[in-house]
Structure 1
């Protein structure tokens, strides 16, 4: 197989700069707004009617949900900044490494999960599905930016040694 200088197409890169990304971005930001409105309004009222055990779970899961959504919103904003040229790929990767995508648990496995208000459970489920989609896209994007190890080519290694040797004189 000969090298023609062609590079593989980055489908993940195209996906991050597409109408589908715009829809994902809109969905994520809308979910952040809906969750904030729910937690400040109907969720606050519903939490007052919960048992002590369910109220404690609601409080902990509310924090976890808002943290998850802020991480997802940060990722979406980074991608949008890259797409618009506001940030370089290197800057985005550096900032992306500060994010914690994933780490979501199995809420359904919590014994008091079913006691939580249905509106809250719906928002948490939506956030988990959105996170799964974003993580898959992120993994594809990050995989595309890992520099492959150069092949062990003895001729290139010898040329490098010669260049190094003559450059020192």
Structure 2
């Protein structure tokens, strides 16, 4: 059974590494496999279950999204793999994509989608579009870190209204 723990300000996979710090003002959506469960804890969120998805398949899907390129974030831990980081940038909006909390493994447990909604280039609509594509192709669910709940695929507009 896999357990991935996330806090609102730190992406943390239990027993794997210390974490990748994200800005507190980022809007973060976590994608995790259908069949696993999300559980709110004192430390943040746990994503628990036996299901994973192919790291390679995630990269394949991500690379089909227009304006997405692989990049190396400045604030990542040295042990994290650049293969885990992608950025959507269409010169108007920026959305960061992090696979498996920065750890390159054959099977992945989560994908983090982040955008800074307090800056001009932050765009939750683009983040949701990316989530929809990844969910459809990889059989994933969405956890909204700000709303602290799972987002139903048909109710993604609720995020846009509550941001």
Answer whether TM exceeds 0.5 for this pair: no
| Structure whose residues are more often strand by fraction | 2
User: Considering only CA atoms, is the larger Rg found in Structure 1 or Structure 2?
Assistant: 1
